[in-house]
Amino acid sequence: MVRKNKDFLQLLHDIWAFGGSNRSFLERYERYAKGERNDLPRDHLYTNLWPLTVALVLGGTFYLCVKAPEWFDSDPHYCDPMHNDKSVPLVRAFHDPVRDRWERLPEGREAPTPRQLYAYYQKVKPELLEDVDIRFLPKVNLTVLNVPKTNAAKPTFPFGIMAG
């Protein structure tokens, strides 16, 4: 094989010496015979930094997702902060199972009994009770907790009239 390559190289030299302008072809073949490649692009610095680039893109995306609620106008009660937020006060509230929401309790008042709440809704808004399965509602008492003020609605139950 080596002999063939040398013979072919000799032939190419003869063609070139005879007046052919195939110098570039000859140089390409000589590089080919030596096993050299110059048609591949050089290894750039950026190809070695791909793990860092991927990490920066993922980290930047996470940072943007965390900080976006602070940068854009949004309602504070739709966006929970990622830290312990003490700026929203806690209020005492009871869970209204008919409306499925928390309602604030006035100072010094207790939550109505389920019987009082259901009687109130039966009298004032009976259409709300039509959509609810009474079997799954609390029978003994309603849940009372301290919840953020932004999560508790103003009470609709008339504490002065019926809860007395």
**Could you tell me the residue ranges of all domains in the chain?**
2-34, 90-153
First to last CA, the chain: 110
Higher pLDDT, 30 or 66: 66
User: What mean pLDDT, rounded, does the chain reach?
Assistant: 77
Higher pLDDT, 103 or 12: 103
Q: Residue 91 pairs with which residues in a beta bridge?
A: 147
**What's the pLDDT at 20?**
52
**What's the pLDDT at 163?**
42
pLDDT tens figures, 101-121 = 999 998 888 888 888 888 888
Higher pLDDT, 38 or 77: 38
**What's the pLDDT at 14?**
65
**What's the pLDDT at 21?**
55
CA distance 152 to 146: 10
Question: Looking at the whole model, is its pTM more than 0.75?
Answer: no
**What's the pLDDT at 74?**
57
Exposure string (b/e) for 43-72, b if CB count within 10 Å is 16 or more?
Answer: eeeeeeeeeeeeeeeeeeeeeeeeeeeeee
Selection from 40, 66, 135 nearest residue 97 by Cα: 135
pLDDT tens figures, 15-46 = 666 555 556 666 777 777 787 776 666 666 66
**What's the pLDDT at 94?**
92
**What's the pLDDT at 160?**
62
